[in-house]
């Protein structure tokens, strides 16, 4: 299995970003982690750089997760997989995630060891 | 042949009684005489006294006088007596002769006309009877013939058709007696085909041109002269027709009434308008009106408006001209209706008040009838009919019908209003429910993200207990959780029953000063330049907690997101505008792209600024909810890098 070593975290909560980075780095050595505070920052990042995995929060200012997913197909070679990572319990979010072909699956925060294993591979 | 023999033969064989008499009496009678007078032989006759043969002796004297004067008479009518004293009527003719000796004879003949007389009497009786029947019956009787036209009509016929004499009718073309002149030949052919017609309904025409319905009965009769005659009788059934039509009208009215009273019971709201229009048409057509309509009063503003209208064929609608009419221009109508009375104008020309008359005549109205719509004790408008093409005299039934329609309209409107209110309440409940649901997702999301962070932080602190940075993050997360809980409290307080709270008269400028005092610290830190333009005496009657919350939110928002290093001005203005107070909070900051975010501006959970001070997406949502709860409204204007202005309209 190919190493999934380029990861983009998109979330407006700086504490979550820090925690997620620490948690991933604890499980994996060879990873590069990039962070964006909202959809718009993530889009400008992806215009220059492709990644293997995106962990995407939904509720963000400026450009939220859904708006980000609307714009994402316009970028060539952005990467491979998008995981929605949220603490939302709104069933309509789950439904929208299931229906969106770009989304691999929807995960619930926090990002713990099991979720890192299942998304990045053992 | 012997002449005397021939004479004798004639005398003995004819049916007339032949006689000769001289001054002493009868000297010759023939067989017919003997038989006519009931004797057994001529001798018996000759030996009888002539005077016994007259019923009235004065007849004999009269005839003798006549003979002496004229020497003859002809066909004198005399009642004779037979031998057995029975009577018969005879016509007697006599000539006086004188012979060479100067002796005088009277030769005569008698014809027994008893039978003829009886026959004539019978005919006379019949004529009398016919005459009497003709005079006394109510039917028009006639006889007509194809070429000659009408040859007989009775008195009733003359009367029924409104002519002066029978002769006048007989001189007419009979087709003129029919409303539709061609119908005469149709009726004629039908009588010939069938031999007779019975009670055929025909509309006839009188001399004055008016028409009436009649039953026509006719038969063909072959006259003694061989011609075909039409004998007929006409009965005027105008009254019956009228009764029948009245009955039909009655049934129609009943149908309309039932229709009216059932139609509206379960009518869905969306169909009410159509139903009212249908009823206006139906009622208008029924009473023969040219227009029917509904007017609604607005007593507060002193105006009324035409809300529904039906117009008959070729009738000009007036609904556009009858909007927001001041009630003063038709005091007769308004005053009658405010007292609960209908207004009936049979002839607009007779209206006393000139301006009211003009108002009606400008709409070509010739007659009208209007009925108030009464709700409770209040007149809320009226319904009515106009007659444009001709005058109309209102009937009691029409008034009752209009009254019922008016009641029906009031009822349906009350129901409609109730249902609309219910519907509004229902939508509000659904909306509230959705809001609570959204709210619970947002709060749950906020809680869970903070809790997730707490768990994550605690895990790394276990590994690295001396890292101060992690502790700071722990503290920030705990504070954020605390803020989220505060936000819930705010919202729950807001959801409290608004009717429990009391309004107070509040000076707007003072409230702003209080809020600025509370935010003094951050205002100083950010070097906010505050400009307040509010009249000192401007007050609002409002729920104080709501007003404070609204202003607090807008001002702190402006301070958080509306200032930059260069632009630090915040302007708060308020002024009274007719029935509202307009309050504006304007900054000169970065602005918001309304094209992109306008629809989300006041949504729960929406955030627009990617910085540390980003909130929970509740501020503007709460503000809008609060503004609307006190029947105000909020608008936003913004331009990128020019600033944002929030406008709040409060009911003064």
In order of start, what are the domains of chain A with their CATH numbers? 1-9+26-35+47-111 (3.40.50.2300)
Query: Contacts of residue A62 in chain B, CB cutoff 8 Å?
Result: 608-610
Measure A88 CA to nearest chain B CA, in Å. 5
Phi, psi of B630 (to 5 degrees): -105, 25
Chosen for mutation from B437, B449, B601 (greatest number of chain A CBs closer than 10 Å) is: B449
pLDDT tens for each residue of B534-565: 999 998 888 887 888 889 889 988 988 888 88
B56's CB contacts (< 8 A; 6+ apart) are B79
Angle at CA of residue B373, ends B372 and B374, nearest 5°: 105
Pairwise CB contact (< 8 Å): B452 & A62 = no
Distance between CA atoms of residues B231 and B237, nearest Å: 19
**Nearest-CA neighbor of B201 among B259, B170, B241, B172?**
B241
Distance between CA atoms of residues B522 and B575, nearest Å: 27
Homologous superfamily in CATH for domain B247-415: GAF domain (3.30.450.40)
B626's CB contacts (< 8 A; 6+ apart) are B494, B546, B549, B550
Distance between CA atoms of residues B489 and B502, nearest Å: 20
Distance between CA atoms of residues A36 and A39, nearest Å: 7
pLDDT interval class at B648 (50, 70, 90): very high
**Under a CB-based contact definition with an 8 Å cutoff, are residues B263 and B275 in contact?**
yes
Cα dist from B512 to B245, B474, B530, B584, whole Å: 79, 36, 11, 12
Distance between CA atoms of residues B607 and B617, nearest Å: 5
Checking if the pLDDT of B448 tops 90, the result is no
- The strand order across the sheet containing B325-326 reads B325-326, B303-311, B291-298, B378-387, B367-375, B343-345
- Among B441, B457, B460, the residue with its CB nearest the CB of A90 is B441
pLDDT tens for each residue of A46-89: 998 899 999 999 888 888 899 999 999 998 888 789 999 988 77
**b/e map B484-502, b = 16+ CB within 10 Å:** beebbeebeeeeeeeeeee
* Entry pTM: 0.46
Pairwise CB contact (< 8 Å): B607 & A18 = no
Distance between CA atoms of residues B184 and B205, nearest Å: 12
Checking if the pLDDT of B394 tops 60, the result is yes
* H helix or E strand, kind and range, residue B115: helix B114-136
- Across the range B460-487, mean pLDDT stands at 85
Tell me the CA end-to-end span of chain B in Å, nearest whole number. 150
Query: Contacts of residue B448 in chain A, CB cutoff 8 Å?
Result: 87, 89, 109
Measure A68 CA to nearest chain B CA, in Å. 14
Checking if the pLDDT of A23 tops 50, the result is yes
pLDDT tens for each residue of B288-329: 999 999 999 998 889 999 999 999 999 999 999 899 999 888
**Under a CB-based contact definition with an 8 Å cutoff, are residues B567 and B589 in contact?**
yes
The reported pLDDT for the residue numbered A33 is 93
Cα dist from B366 to A100, B346, B370, whole Å: 72, 8, 13
Distance between CA atoms of residues A60 and A44, nearest Å: 16
**Nearest-CA neighbor of B90 among B17, B154, B30?**
B17
Checking if the pLDDT of A1 tops 50, the result is no
Query: Contacts of residue A110 in chain B, CB cutoff 8 Å?
Result: 452-453, 455-456
Query: Contacts of residue A90 in chain B, CB cutoff 8 Å?
Result: 441, 445
**Nearest-CA neighbor of B623 among B638, B608, B643, B603?**
B603
Checking if the pLDDT of B411 tops 60, the result is yes
Measure A20 CA to nearest chain B CA, in Å. 8
* H helix or E strand, kind and range, residue B418: helix B396-463
pLDDT interval class at B54 (50, 70, 90): very high
Query: Contacts of residue A111 in chain B, CB cutoff 8 Å?
Result: 456
DSSP string, B446-462: HHHHHHHHHHHHHHHHH
Pairwise CB contact (< 8 Å): B608 & A61 = yes
- Across the range B67-91, mean pLDDT stands at 91
Instruction: List, in sequence order, the alpha helices (H) in A6-112.
Output: 14-27, 39-46, 65-71, 91-99
Checking if the pLDDT of B449 tops 70, the result is yes
Pairwise CB contact (< 8 Å): B449 & A109 = yes
Query: Contacts of residue A19 in chain B, CB cutoff 8 Å?
Result: 453, 456-457, 460
Pairwise CB contact (< 8 Å): A62 & B608 = yes
Distance between CA atoms of residues B282 and B286, nearest Å: 6
Pairwise CB contact (< 8 Å): B614 & A61 = yes
pLDDT interval class at B595 (50, 70, 90): confident
Chosen for mutation from A63, A95, A110, A112 (greatest number of chain B CBs closer than 10 Å) is: A110
Please, what is the average pLDDT of chain B? 87
The reported pLDDT for the residue numbered B121 is 87
**Under a CB-based contact definition with an 8 Å cutoff, are residues B386 and B329 in contact?**
no
- Across the range B423-439, mean pLDDT stands at 85
Angle at CA of residue B135, ends B130 and B141, nearest 5°: 70
Distance between CA atoms of residues B652 and B642, nearest Å: 31
Query: Contacts of residue B617 in chain A, CB cutoff 8 Å?
Result: 59
Looking at chain B, the domain(s) classified CATH 3.30.565.10 span 496-651
- Among B452, B460, B607, the residue with its CB nearest the CB of A61 is B607
- Across the range A29-47, mean pLDDT stands at 91
Angle at CA of residue B26, ends B25 and B27, nearest 5°: 115
Residue of A nearest to B610 (CA): A61
Number of H helices, E strands in chain B: 19, 23
The number of residues in chain B equals 652
Pairwise CB contact (< 8 Å): B449 & A38 = no
Pairwise CB contact (< 8 Å): B452 & A89 = no
Chosen for mutation from B442, B455, B610, B619 (greatest number of chain A CBs closer than 10 Å) is: B610
Please, what is the average pLDDT of chain A? 88
**Under a CB-based contact definition with an 8 Å cutoff, are residues A94 and A106 in contact?**
yes
Query: Contacts of residue B472 in chain A, CB cutoff 8 Å?
Result: none
CA B346 to chain centre: 16
Fold of B3-117: Beta-Lactamase (3.30.450)
Looking at chain B, the domain(s) classified CATH 3.30.450.40 span 247-415
Checking if the pLDDT of B611 tops 70, the result is no
SS (H, E, C) B369-404: EEEEEEECCEEEEEEEEEECCCCCCCCHHHHHHHHH
pLDDT interval class at B614 (50, 70, 90): low
Distance between CA atoms of residues B479 and B473, nearest Å: 10
Distance between CA atoms of residues B79 and B109, nearest Å: 14
**Pairing between β-strand B378-387 and β-strand B104-112 as defined by DSSP bridges:** unpaired
**Nearest-CA neighbor of B382 among B396, B369, B365?**
B369
CA B304 to chain centre: 23
CB contacts < 8 A (A, B): 61
The reported pLDDT for the residue numbered B498 is 62
**Nearest-CA neighbor of B38 among B79, B82, B81, B85?**
B82
**Under a CB-based contact definition with an 8 Å cutoff, are residues B256 and B283 in contact?**
yes
The reported pLDDT for the residue numbered B477 is 87
- Reply yes or no on domain B496-651 having CATH 3.30.565.10: yes
The reported pLDDT for the residue numbered B404 is 86
Looking at chain B, the domain(s) classified CATH 3.30.450.20 span 3-117, 137-236
Fold of B137-236: Beta-Lactamase (3.30.450)
The reported pLDDT for the residue numbered B499 is 61
Pairwise CB contact (< 8 Å): A15 & B610 = no
Query: Contacts of residue A38 in chain B, CB cutoff 8 Å?
Result: 610
The number of residues in chain A equals 122
Residue of B nearest to A91 (CA): B441
**Nearest-CA neighbor of B408 among B380, B373, B432?**
B373
Using the structure block, give the residue that is written with the tokens 């409609």: B416
**Under a CB-based contact definition with an 8 Å cutoff, are residues B338 and B379 in contact?**
yes
A4's CB contacts (< 8 A; 6+ apart) are A52, A53, A80, A120, A121
Using the structure block, give the residue that is written with the tokens 């106009």: B386
Instruction: List, in sequence order, the alpha helices (H) in B137-237.
Output: 155-160, 166-170, 183-194
**b/e map B412-449, b = 16+ CB within 10 Å:** bbeeeeeeeeeeeeeeeeeeeeeeeeebebbbebbbbb
Measure A5 CA to nearest chain B CA, in Å. 22
pLDDT tens for each residue of B214-269: 999 999 988 888 888 999 999 998 888 888 888 888 888 888 877 777 777 777 77
- Contact residues of B toward A, CB < 8 A: 441, 444-445, 448-449, 452-453, 455-457, 460, 473, 476-477, 605, 607-610, 614, 617
Chosen for mutation from B456, B483, B557, B609 (greatest number of chain A CBs closer than 10 Å) is: B456
**b/e map B95-110, b = 16+ CB within 10 Å:** eeeeeeeeeeebebbb
- Across the range B12-36, mean pLDDT stands at 89
- Among B444, B610, B617, the residue with its CB nearest the CB of A37 is B610
Residue of A nearest to B455 (CA): A110
Pairwise CB contact (< 8 Å): A61 & B609 = yes
What are B162's two structure tokens? 């409104």
B109's CB contacts (< 8 A; 6+ apart) are B16, B17, B18, B19, B92, B93, B94
The reported pLDDT for the residue numbered B1 is 57
pLDDT interval class at B441 (50, 70, 90): confident
Distance between CA atoms of residues A56 and B609, nearest Å: 18
């Amino acid at each position: 299995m190919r190493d999934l070593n380029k990861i983009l975290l998109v979330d407006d909560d700086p504490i979550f970003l820090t925690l997620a980075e620490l948690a991933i780095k604890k499980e994996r050595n060879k990873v590069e982690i990039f962070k964006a505070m909202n959809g718009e920052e993530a889009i400008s990042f992806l215009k220059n750089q492709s990644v293997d995995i995106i962990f995407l929060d939904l509720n963000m200012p400026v450009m939220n997760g859904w708006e980000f997913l609307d714009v994402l197909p316009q970028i060539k070679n952005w990467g491979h997989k998008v995981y929605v990572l949220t603490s939302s319990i709104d069933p309509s979010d789950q439904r929208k995630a299931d229906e969106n072909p770009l989304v691999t699956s929807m995960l619930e925060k926090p990002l713990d060891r099991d979720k890192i294993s299942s998304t990045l591979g053992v | 042949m012997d002449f005397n023999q021939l004479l004798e033969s004639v005398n003995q064989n004819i049916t007339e009684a032949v006689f000769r008499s001289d001054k002493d009496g009868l000297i010759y009678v023939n067989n017919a005489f003997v038989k006519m007078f009931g004797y057994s032989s001529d001798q018996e006759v000759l030996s009888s006294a002539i005077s016994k043969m007259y019923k009235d002796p004065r007849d004999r004297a009269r005839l003798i006088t006549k003979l002496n004067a004229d020497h003859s008479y002809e066909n004198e009518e005399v009642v004779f007596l037979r031998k057995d004293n029975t009577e018969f009527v005879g016509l007697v003719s006599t000539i006086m002769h004188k012979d060479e000796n100067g002796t005088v004879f009277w030769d005569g003949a008698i014809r027994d006309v008893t039978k003829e007389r009886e026959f004539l009497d019978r005919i006379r009786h019949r004529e009398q009877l016919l005459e009497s029947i003709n005079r006394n019956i109510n039917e028009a009787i006639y006889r007509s013939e194809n070429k000659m036209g009408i040859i007989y009509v009775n008195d009733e016929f003359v009367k029924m058709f409104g002519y002066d004499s029978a002769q006048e009718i007989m001189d007419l073309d009979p087709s003129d007696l029919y409303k539709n002149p061609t119908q005469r030949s149709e009726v004629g052919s039908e009588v010939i085909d069938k031999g007779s017609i019975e009670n055929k309904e025909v509309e006839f025409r009188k001399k004055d041109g008016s028409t009436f319905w009649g039953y026509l009965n006719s038969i063909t009769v072959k006259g003694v002269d061989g011609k075909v005659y039409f004998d007929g009788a006409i009965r005027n059934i105008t009254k019956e027709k009228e009764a029948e039509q009245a009955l039909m009208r009655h049934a129609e009215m009943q149908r309309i009434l039932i229709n009216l009273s059932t139609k509206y019971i379960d009518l869905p709201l969306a169909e009410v308008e159509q139903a009212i229009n249908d009823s206006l048409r139906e009622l208008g057509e029924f009473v023969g009106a040219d227009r029917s309509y509904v007017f609604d009063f607005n007593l507060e503003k002193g105006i009324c408006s035409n809300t529904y209208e039906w117009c008959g064929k070729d009738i000009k609608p007036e609904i556009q001209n009858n909007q927001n009419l001041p009630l003063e221009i038709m005091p007769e109508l308004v005053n009658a209706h405010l007292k609960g009375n209908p207004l009936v104008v049979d002839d607009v020309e007779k209206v006393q008040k000139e301006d009211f008359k003009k108002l009606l005549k400008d709409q070509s109205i010739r007659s009208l009838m209007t009925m108030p719509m009464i709700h409770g004790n209040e007149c809320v408008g009226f319904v009515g009919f106009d007659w444009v093409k001709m005058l109309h005299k209102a009937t009691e039934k029409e008034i009752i019908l209009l009254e019922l329609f008016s009641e029906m309209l009031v009822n349906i409107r009350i129901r409609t209003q109730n249902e609309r209110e219910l519907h509004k309440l229902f939508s509000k409940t659904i909306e509230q429910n959705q809001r609570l649901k959204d709210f619970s997702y947002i709060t749950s999301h906020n809680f869970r993200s903070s809790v997730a962070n707490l768990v994550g932080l605690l895990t790394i602190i276990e590994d690295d207990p001396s890292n101060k940075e992690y502790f700071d993050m722990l503290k920030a997360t705990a504070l954020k959780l605390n803020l989220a809980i505060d936000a819930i409290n705010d919202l729950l307080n807001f959801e409290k029953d608004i009717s429990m709270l009391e309004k107070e008269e509040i000076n707007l400028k003072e409230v702003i000063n209080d809020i600025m005092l509370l935010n003094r610290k951050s205002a100083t830190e950010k070097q906010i330049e505050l400009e307040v333009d509010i009249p000192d005496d401007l007050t609002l009657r409002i729920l104080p907690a709501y007003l404070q919350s609204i202003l607090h939110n807008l001002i702190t928002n402006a301070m958080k997101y509306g200032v930059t290093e260069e632009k630090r001005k915040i302007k708060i203005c308020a002024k009274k505008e007719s029935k509202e107070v307009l309050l504006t909070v304007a900054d000169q900051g970065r602005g918001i792209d309304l094209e992109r975010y306008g629809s989300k501006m006041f949504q729960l959970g929406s955030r627009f600024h990617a910085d540390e001070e980003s909130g929970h997406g509740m501020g503007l949502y709460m503000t809008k909810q609060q503004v609307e709860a006190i029947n105000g409204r909020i608008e936003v204007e913004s331009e990128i890098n020019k600033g944002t202005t929030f406008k709040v309209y409060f009911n003064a």
